[in-house]
Amino acid sequence: MNPRNILLGVDTGGTFTDFVLFDGARLTVHKRLSTPHAPEEAILLGIANLGIEITRLNVVHGSTVATNAALEGKGVRTAFITNHGLGDMLTIGRQARRELYNLQPKPVSPPVPQALCLETGGRVSADGSTIEPLTVDDLALLRQQLQQLQPEAVAINLLFSFLDDSHEKAIEAIVPEGIFVSRSSAILPEYKEYERGITTWLNAWVGPLVQRYLQRLQQGLPTAQISVMQSSGGTIAAELAGARAVQMLLSGPAGGLAGARFVGQRAGREKLLTFDMGGTSTDVALIDGEPRLTNNGKIGPWPVSVPMVDMHTIGAGGGSIAYIDEGGLLQVGPQSAGAAPGPACYGRGGLQPTVTDANLVLGRLRPDAFLGGKMQLDDNAARNAVATLATPLGLSIEATAQGIIQIANEHMAQALRVISIQRGIDPQGFTLMPFGGAGGLHVCALAETLGLQEALVPVHGGVLSALGMLVARRSRELSRTLASNLDAVDNTTLENYFSELEKTAQQALQQEGIATNAITTKRSVDLRYRGQSSTINIPWQKNSQDEFHHAHQQRYGHRLHQAVELVNIRIRAEGPAPEIELPPLTTTTAAMPQQQVELFGISGKVNVWQRETLMAGQKITGPALITEAVATTFIDEGWGCVVDGFGNLLLRRAN
């Protein structure tokens, strides 16, 4: 193996850390339990398990460090600097109630304690003129306050700093050395001070944690080149990623969509409904040629306005815990058993029943085939865990397990409706693509619920996010607020703004070794009707206004006869796609079933196939189980599948 050609994609999840190795000719996959206390440990152990020579190793990594810190409220001590009178900006927010009809909601702690909210001068008006100057005394006072408070990070968010960033830069310059600084005019130069402020604060709040983690990883792999997956689906050098930690919040899921698009294109399926079912959660998304991006994402209760893949996430994964609620009804999730202790069947001390335990009880997971036989599942432990629910429900263990699966399936089906039907998109023209370690076990049931005729279980689906890391391009996404009627925009001025953003993005990519002639750029605009607060992103072209009317009609069911406003302009600059291809299947002999087993609710024996032995063109009729090293696929009654030339399983409902 030539070390110069070694590419390694790594996706750190809540339960497992996934690896996909490409040596220039073939792909090798690996999976091991995550180490949440120190994620780099699982990565270094996995590299050792794979026997990789780390000299000149290229690692592309998707990390949950930023996500977990934000969701668990474990960011660093952060000061928030804004203009006079706006210190409670992040606390007030949009004054939206989490529980609309609850007259006595539980108090919620503000993002930043009052003592850490600092106010200063340097106020700019909506036309870019200075209303209140930023004086030398203001800067001296801020420095004194920071020295007294001793924060680990500082978030700077002044009004209209996207029009004039000089005051924010001046404040940044006086921050004591060693403190992480996040400046809104660098992180998100757009209007809406609350969303810009929260995004800037999140970047500061988790930035030092991400930087320290990446430094530990680089120390463990001193000769490797490390890149990090961004939430937008492109990669960035690790040494730059820490300063943009907020852009890593959907790092892993973005890799999954990059992998789904890559495999879907080679299978001739450009329109995909995807669901990534891991151990802790399920992410659903829609791909129509390429993954969609949004600037209206959320992490926990907070808006995140940097570009990220447009997906809907629910707490339904293989590790989701089933329980009986106060009304005596069976529920599943969002709490998860995670990696430690994990589902009861892992034999690591878990006692609560999970979706994985239910699949094992029903026979859909084979105890001796999990992780390619490297991890033996404890069937008795799974049955004992599910029995804790079966007894009070008055059901058999198997019937209770079936109920757990049905509830989890309905949660995922509803999430798929949110991403498609509720946005005016008919899912009938799309192919359902499951991935993640647990996705293939639920694919037929979800397709049935949505009325879909076809599904595609991708090759290496259990580690598809890690594969997506390898095929992702280096990229930058930049934006700027203009806020003007579209008809009144001067084309020359607009062209200058676009060119300025493109030049900045190209320079950033050039510093990462991308040749200028290999960089491609895409332009888009955020449009809305006058008087609206939300926008729709449209590719910038001569008929962008017509496209906006059409998109508004599709999403909301109507169009308005009002002026259209151009709010933001955006560019995406990308380097070339990595030269990676799926190796074709070489098996020339049709495989035979490994064994026959009994599954609850199905009469007669069910064939169990080993996916690695299947031949291109081979057909399998359900019910059947197809096992592999990193996942299991359950083909239900009434469904069949054919294996394509790369090893993907194309499932179709029988007529």
Give every residue of the chain whose pLDDT is below 70, as ranges. 1-5, 339, 372, 655
Pairing of β 282-288 and β 290-291? antiparallel
Q: Which residues pair with 527 in a beta bridge?
A: 536, 566
By residue count, the chain amounts to 655
Nearest to 549 by CA among 531, 534, 539, 564: 564
CA distance 20 to 180: 33
CA distance 162 to 211: 26
pLDDT of residue 370: 77
CA end-to-end distance (rounded Å), the chain? 48
Give domain limits for the chain. 3-70+211-251, 74-206, 475-574, 595-653
Report the amino acid identity of residue 299: I
CA distance 554 to 568: 21
Pairing of β 520-529 and β 536-539? antiparallel
CATH among 3.40.50, 1.10.1060, 3.40.30, 3.90.550 for 74-206? 3.40.50
User: Helix 136-149 and helix 166-174: axis angle, to 10°?
Assistant: 50
Residue bearing tokens 């109507």: 558
Q: How far is CA 312 from CA 94, 197, 214, 285, 419, in A?
A: 22, 23, 27, 7, 7
CA distance 43 to 63: 11
CA distance 249 to 240: 15
Residue bearing tokens 């508004």: 552
CA distance 511 to 501: 16
DSSP annotation string for 213-252: HHHHHHHHSTTSEEEEE-TTS-EEEHHHHGGGGGGGTTHH
pLDDT of residue 4: 46
SS (H, E, C) 542-602: CCHHHHHHHHHHHHHCCCCCCCEEEEEEEEEEECCCCCCCCCCCCCCCCCCCCEEECCCCC
pLDDT of residue 429: 87
Report the amino acid identity of residue 97: R
State whether the Cα torsion 604-608-609-611 is positive or negative: positive
May I ask the CATH class of domain 475-574? Answer: alpha beta
Q: What is the DSSP letter of 315?
A: S
Q: Which residues pair with 30 in a beta bridge?
A: 19
CA–centroid distance for 63 within its chain: 10
pTM comes to: 0.88
CA distance 593 to 609: 5
Mean confidence (pLDDT) of the chain: 91
Pairing of β 78-83 and β 153-156? parallel
Query: Taking every pair of C-alpha atoms in the chain, what is the biggest distance, in angstroms?
Result: 83
CATH among 3.40.50.1100, 3.30.420.40, 3.10.20.30, 3.40.50.20 for 3-70+211-251? 3.30.420.40
Structure tokens at 482: 């203009």
pLDDT of residue 5: 63
CA distance 253 to 282: 10
Alpha carbon dihedral 289, 457, 284, 399, in 10-degree steps, equals 160
pLDDT of residue 635: 96
State whether the Cα torsion 283-288-291-296 is positive or negative: negative
